[in-house]
Structure 1
């Protein structure tokens, strides 16, 4: 079936719709590892962002395994991962409840209203677990973000970049084919999720994890500094398979228009 218009947009949450810079998990990861006597940097914590949080902790643990072995006398293992996760999740829950980490990114409300006016349906997937989202979703709803479906890390057997969350979201919404769906995300695993699901993948360069700045910090950056951040994020997201990269959700209408133009020209997300 050939479509020339986008029927649904599936959105990531942190760094895509709210929490400019995807900053809520950072301190939680650093504190959780510190609780076990191992120091990690914010850059260590940011590396696997977008993945399910248990997978994320596994990768950070592997990256700092030498320090872990020096502190604990053994390689980082599954028991260690679960211990870190047990400390991390409550810290992340507390973080997302604060206004700085739950506020919609500038332009989000207008972009969502634009989609609604065009009949474009909105769903969501996230690397956050359901306990985290049970706290965050009502705060987003109070600001007007109420996607039809919210698929969380841990809801399905495999997280990003596996396509299962996307497929589940589409199945719950009754949206098909995948080529009529656009996924927006600020991380390579989230872009991989879209590509593996057969959907259009649009990356957000300046609002997300790769740039890592709050909205206020981004506003204070010079145009030259923003250009450097944009170039770095664009390169990472395009390497992960993004069909298009824009600055933020404020650019969603332009992204839809560009993807629809490519669809009208006969292009499909599989190409």
Structure 2
């Protein structure tokens, strides 16, 4: 018997797209295509987890970006310019998202393990619905079909760190309590989403946006360097309130066992 009724996963960097590469590279391309503006990958990653319009707005507010934007255009980024960047971003993202639908190692086995235990699989993303529909189809061909999917624009106030997407999953999956749900994510806004929804939260340090490495680069990086970066990432997630931090989705079972025991003792997130 399990006390956990549902696990709600993020997509890129959590279950698919090792390193969360699809959205970051497209932001860089969109800025270059629309405004001939050079955005770095490190800058593109900083607001990851937000809805994509909000992500672009947050990029414009970064001090380094704002300074260069003012130098190039004579003013800070306007909402109209955010709209234009979003319009440039969308077709690029739709064209490329399926290329990054590959499952992160261990994901398929963990999903199967949870399903066999009767745990429902929810999911949500910072991607809008028109991008998610492409990613859902591509992931299904590779064997990943969660019980429910919520996109960032499915509901008003749906974007992270609001709890809307996590709570919409809980309602659709028919759970008896949000305290029996676990939110798994690779970005701080996604952890905030789970906490705001009253769920247990597990942050992934190695496979997503914070580490930001392709699977090949990750495998080639010395463990000492990974450990150093992992410690910094863990401290960031702990400061954000994550209940647990693990390297990847493959490392979930021991943490879920701990959460089960805590629920048994009457603890709540």
After TM superposition, the score normalised by the length of structure 1 is 0.94
2:91 corresponds to: 90
Residue 7 of structure 1, aligned match among 5, 8, 27: 5
CA distance in 2, matches of 1:184, 1:5: 17
CA distance in 2, matches of 1:170, 1:226: 35
How far is 1:73 from its partner?
2.6
Deviation track 1:48-69 (CA, whole Å, cap 9, x = no partner) reads: 0001001100010111122222
Higher mean C-alpha deviation, range 219-228 or range 11-20: 219-228
Alignment of 1:160-199 (within 5 A): 160-199=160-199
1:126 corresponds to: 125
Aligned residues: 265
Q: Which runs of 4+ in 1 moved over 6 A?
A: none
2:220 corresponds to: 220
Q: Could you tell me whether the CA contact under 8 Å between 1:34 and 1:40 is conserved in 2?
A: yes
CA distance in 1, matches of 2:217, 2:23: 18
Q: Could you tell me whether the CA contact under 8 Å between 1:194 and 1:200 is conserved in 2?
A: yes
Q: Could you tell me whether the CA contact under 8 Å between 1:25 and 1:95 is conserved in 2?
A: no
Give the unaligned 5+ runs of structure 2. Answer: none
Question: CA RMSD for the aligned pairs?
Answer: 1.4
Give the unaligned 5+ runs of structure 1. Answer: none
- Which secondary structure does the structure 2 equivalent of 1:128 belong to? coil
After TM superposition, the score normalised by the length of structure 2 is 0.95
Deviation track 1:213-264 (CA, whole Å, cap 9, x = no partner) reads: 1112211222212211221221111111110011111112222112112222
Q: Does 1:154 align with 2:173?
A: no
CA distance in 2, matches of 1:228, 1:264: 35
Alignment of 1:71-110 (within 5 A): 71-98=72-99, 101-110=100-109
Deviation track 1:91-132 (CA, whole Å, cap 9, x = no partner) reads: 12222121xx11000000110111011111001010011111
